[in-house]
């Protein structure tokens, strides 16, 4: 009711706020002020949150988070503050700190991607805005898990996933990477559970279930994160460690033993780690990503626990984000490659520092293969222009930018630059880039300007920067990666393709442990779709790919099996799809099933998805629904 009453107030307010004023002319001098973020409704350039305090309770009975988001605002002179919300219930909005007074607010129409703007009537000198709210069952950030979906199976679990624009579905705020805030939180959870955030964290459970958090460094909204479950802390050094369910603690300690060395290597490359503590929280299998770089507390999927430390490049990746992404942040989701391309490049440098160039090249080679496949799909798809680094995702879901272009083309751009200018100069340039832009956001255009001014012009280097960034496809000067070890695996696969039974005869003793994960991936990729189910059966007999402990190998193997028509593995594939929600490990499988000429595969996929979908986070669930034509 209240929402209608105040319409006229807002109509006038918005007209006024769109007129020019002196603030705007100052702003025009500043390049970043000229960019807008089409994925946020907020008027953060007129008025912005500087500090957010959350006072919330996490209720596992009703599966809701409810409480107050207390926003401390900058000096502004504005009559309206606009926040982003999505599927939230807003109970009331007040102004003031100790003496709160109710104010009018209006919630705009819902947009499927962006959610709804919350427009709050304020005074030009308003400093504090308090939004009383609760989440709903339509929330897209939150994943509520029954005990059966955890490792311990005794306690429920809940975690948030904010990137790219989902934070607004659990906190009403200005959900744009262009505004950075500090935050604090008072969080109440059931007393048998522990709460952790992307902030200073407890090391032990509190008897009352009450936790207090502080993040004193300024971060964008997408990096606010919370996880609640039966967690225990295992330190790996005095500044890093792992939060996991107690049942996984020993495995984590083994798998991530190199983490302290990774942090040192990263610091040697690009300067001091700025976030004091680097911990990881191992979430349930439904977590839609391998890792998410929430500052001070990377979230990770337990599929990383391969038992042989073969998937630790994901840890190097999330650690690298502590510089690229968290310290220097993409201004908008069109600049996403600045986060991910830099991070994949940096991840590879950490891998090289720890494990040598041969291993680093193996990773880069696999990524380059992925990129070629992605390029082919995209060039024949709906948006061939998305093969540019700089994207134009206005009116589209920023999730659509999450492709190998940002990650791998981005990293190869930097590798090619490195080759051209030499590693020494390039490293010095990157170190300075992180230092001079620390705790800031940056657009592609500003980066290009900085690159020319600080690296290319002083060294009189000609480089096709514009082609790399603003043109589709991969430029001809892209560096080539070779890997003798992976070539050997392709040759082995070729022998199989040509009918040689490599598992009988001279290579008969080939064992799973003879090669690392990435080598087996290259082997599986080298196998032709024309091999027979019988050949796959033989390989399985020898190497047990179908029931591998390594979900990356399983995912690659199942995709080939679908194309070949090798159905023996279906029970294992079903088990994998029921358990794992990491999107990258399931979307390829569902895509093969959906595209298969054998239409029984699509039916099988739909049946499995119907049972598995409650085990997936919204992010994976919606991707799979789209693949299966259910959206
Ligand atoms: N920040 C990303 C995950 C992400 C990106 C979530 C965009 C939502 C929107 C994270 O750092 C990431 O890239 N994870 C990868 C790691 C891999 C490339 C090593 C993953 O989960 O697979
Ligand atoms: Zn990343």
Q: Which atom of ligand 1 sits closest to the CA of residue 582?
A: 21
48 C-beta neighbours (distance < 10 Å), count: 20
B/e letters for 337-356, b = 16+ CB within 10 Å, e = fewer, are bbbbbbbbbbbbbbbbbbbe
Residue bearing the CA closest to ligand 1, atom 20: 290
Residue with CA at minimum distance from ligand 1 atom 19: 314
H helices present in 211-290, as ranges? 249-255, 259-270
- Domains of the chain: residue spans and CATH: 21-27+323-470 (1.10.390.10), 42-310 (2.60.40.1730), 484-627 (1.25.40.320)
From 290, 334, 391, 617, give the residue whose CB has the most ligand 1 atoms within 8 Å, as the site to mutate. Answer: 290
Ligand of minimum distance to the alpha carbon of 398: 1
CA gap 57, 480 in Å, rounded: 52
Question: What's the pLDDT tens digit per position in 343-384?
Answer: 999 999 999 999 999 999 999 999 999 999 999 999 999 999
Give nearest CA residue, ligand 1 atom 10: 292
Give the Å distance between the CA of 291 and the centre of ligand 1.
6
Q: Give the chain's radius of gyration (CA, Å).
A: 25
Other Cβ atoms less than 10 A from the Cβ of 614: the count is 11
Ligand nearest to the CA of 223: 1
Cα–Cα dist 414/392, whole Å: 21
Ligand 2 centre and the CA of 16: distance in Å? Answer: 40
| Ligand 2: centre distance to CA 280 (Å) | 15
Catalytic pick among 245, 251, 293, 318: 318
- Arithmetic mean of pLDDT over the chain: 94
Question: Which residue ranges have their beta carbon within 6 Å of ligand 1?
Answer: 163-164, 289-293, 314, 317-318, 321, 340, 402, 407, 584
Taking the CA of 164 as reference, the closest ligand is 1
- Of all protein residues, the one whose alpha carbon is nearest to atom 2 of ligand 1 is 292
Going from the Cα of 290 to the center of ligand 1, the distance in angstroms, rounded, reads 7
Please write the tens of the pLDDT for every residue from 159-177.
Answer: 999 999 999 999 999 999 9
pLDDT computed for residue 507 by the predictor: 57
Mutation test of ligand 1: which of 282, 292, 297 has the most ligand atoms closer than 8 Å to its C-beta? 292
Atom of ligand 1 nearest to the CA of 313: 19
- The pLDDT score that the predictor gives to residue 506 is 55
Sheet holding 49-59, edge to edge: 101-102, 88-95, 128-135, 64-73, 49-59, 180-188, 210-220
pLDDT at site 505:
56
Kindly tell me the number of DSSP H helices and DSSP E strands found in the chain. Answer: 22, 21
Report the atom number in ligand 1 closest to the C-alpha of 584.
22
Give the pLDDT confidence score for residue 235 in this predicted structure. Answer: 98
Ligand 1 centre and the CA of 272: distance in Å?
Answer: 23
Q: Whose CA is nearest to atom 8 of ligand 1?
A: 163
Sites in the chain below the pLDDT cut of 70: 1-33, 504-508
Q: Is 407 a catalytic residue?
A: yes
Distance 348 CA to ligand 1 centre (A): 15
């Amino acid at each position: 009711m209240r929402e209608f009453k105040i319409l006229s107030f807002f109509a006038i307010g918005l007209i006024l706020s769109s007129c020019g004023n002196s603030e705007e002319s100052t702003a025009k001098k500043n390049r970043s002020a000229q960019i807008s973020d089409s994925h946020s409704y907020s008027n953060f350039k007129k008025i912005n949150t500087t500090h957010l305090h959350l006072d919330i309770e996490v209720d596992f009975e009703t599966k809701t988070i409810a409480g107050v988001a207390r926003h401390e605002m900058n000096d502004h002179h504005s009559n309206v503050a606009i926040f982003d919300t999505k599927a939230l219930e807003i109970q009331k909005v007040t102004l003031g700190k100790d003496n709160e007074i109710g104010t009018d607010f209006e919630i705009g129409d819902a947009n499927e991607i962006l959610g709804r703007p919350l427009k709050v009537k304020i005074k030009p000198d308003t400093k504090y805005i308090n939004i009383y709210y609760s989440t709903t069952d339509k929330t897209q950030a939150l994943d509520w898990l029954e005990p059966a979906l955890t490792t311990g199976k005794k306690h429920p679990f809940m975690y948030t996933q904010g990137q790219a624009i989902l934070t607004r579905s659990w906190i009403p705020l200005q959900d744009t990477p262009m505004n950075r805030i500090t935050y604090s939180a008072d969080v109440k959870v059931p007393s048998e559970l522990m709460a952790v955030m992307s902030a200073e964290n407890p090391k032990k459970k509190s008897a009352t279930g009450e936790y207090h958090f502080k993040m004193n460094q300024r971060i964008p909204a997408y990096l606010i994160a919370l996880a609640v479950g039966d967690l225990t802390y295992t330190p790996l050094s005095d500044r890093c460690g792992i939060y996991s369910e107690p049942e996984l603690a020993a495995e984590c300690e083994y798998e991530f033993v190199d983490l302290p060395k990774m942090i040192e290597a990263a610091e040697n490359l690009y300067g001091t780690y700025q976030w004091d503590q680097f911990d990881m929280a191992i979430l349930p299998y439904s977590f839609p990503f391998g890792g998410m770089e929430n500052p001070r507390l990377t979230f990770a999927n337990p599929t990383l626990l391969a038992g042989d430390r073969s998937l630790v490049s994901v840890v190097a990746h999330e650690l690298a984000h502590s510089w690229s992404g968290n310290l220097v942040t993409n201004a908008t989701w069109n600049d996403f490659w600045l986060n991910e391309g830099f991070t994949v490049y940096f991840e590879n440098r950490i891998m090289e520092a720890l494990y040598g160039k041969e291993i680093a090249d193996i990773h880069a080679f696999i990524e380059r293969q992925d990129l070629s496949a992605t390029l082919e799909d995209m060039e024949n798809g709906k948006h061939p222009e998305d093969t540019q680094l700089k994207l134009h995702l206005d009116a589209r879901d920023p999730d659509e930018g999450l492709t190998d272009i940002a990650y791998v083309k981005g990293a190869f751009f930097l590798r090619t630059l490195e080759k051209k200018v030499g590693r020494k100069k390039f490293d010095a340039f990157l170190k300075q880039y992180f230092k001079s832009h620390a705790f800031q956001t940056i657009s592609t255009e500003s980066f290009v300007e900085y690159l020319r001014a600080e690296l290319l012009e002083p060294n009189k280097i000609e480089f096709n920067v514009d082609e790399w960034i603003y043109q589709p496809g991969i430029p001809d000067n892209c560096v080539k990666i070779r890997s003798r070890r992976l070539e050997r695996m392709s040759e082995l696969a070729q022998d199989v393709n040509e009918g040689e039974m490599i598992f009988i005869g001279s290579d008969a003793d080939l064992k799973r442990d003879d090669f690392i994960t990435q080598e087996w991936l290259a082997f599986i990729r080298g196998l032709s779709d024309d091999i027979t189910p019988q050949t796959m059966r033989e390989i399985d007999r020898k190497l047990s790919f179908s029931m591998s402990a390594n979900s990356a190998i399983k995912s690659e193997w199942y995709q080939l099996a679908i194309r070949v028509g090798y159905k023996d593995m279906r029970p294992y594939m079903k088990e994998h799809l029921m358990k794992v929600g990491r999107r990258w490990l399931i979307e390829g499988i569902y895509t093969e099933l959906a595209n298969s000429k054998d239409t029984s595969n699509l039916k099988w996929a739909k049946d499995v998805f119907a049972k598995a979908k409650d085990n997936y986070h919204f992010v994976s669930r919606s991707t799979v629904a789209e693949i299966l034509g259910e959206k």
